Amino acid sequence: MAETKLHGNTIRTNGTLPKVGERAPDFTLTTTDLKDVSLADFKSRAKLISIFPSIDTPVCALSTKKFNDHARANPDVTMMMVAADLPFAMARFCGDEGLENVKALSMMRDRKFADDYGVRITDGPLAGITARAVLVLDADNVVTYAELVPEIGQEPDYDAAIKALA
């Protein structure tokens, strides 16, 4: 179990993020066109996984835009944006904002991702969805960077995550 904060109040997650040096767990998530994908679908590429509560919140939206900008300049990296939102909401947001360089992925069909990655919030008003976190994986899906953001309303450390992709 890990702890983060929501408006200064401590909330807990079901576990801990995979640690640097560990292989990331496989997953099944749903794309905006309702196709299921797994970690294996992104093999042989460096990956950044941005995990957040909902695309319809200001910090989640901002971080998705910032990671999209990085992905545009670095097409050899896969940037995955993961939330509990329905694929339709993620598609709407990305379409409205012109975000074509990130992969918006939903836990609509399988919430196991949140459990396996240790980010499912277990108490407080956001119980059942995910805390904010960023993971960077190498081409072999080994974690090279892991951040559970200490306050859900706070942006992740973009510089550290981008540096880990190098």
pLDDT band at 99; cut points 50, 70, 90 = very high
158-165 helix and 58-73 helix, angle to the nearest 10 degrees: 30
Q: Which domains, ranges and CATH numbers included, belong to the chain?
A: 3-152 (3.40.30.10)
Model pLDDT for residues 132-143, shown as the tens digit of each residue: 999 999 999 999
pLDDT in tens, 102-125: 999 999 998 899 999 999 999 999
The pLDDT, as a whole number, for residue 110 is 85
Verify whether residue 60 is a known catalytic residue. Answer: yes
Contact 12, 114 (CB under 8 A): no
Q: Which of 11, 39, 60, 133 is catalytic?
A: 60
pLDDT digits (tens, 9 = 90+) for 80-89: 999 999 999 9
Using CA atoms, how far apart are residues 92 and 163, in angstroms rounded to an integer?
30
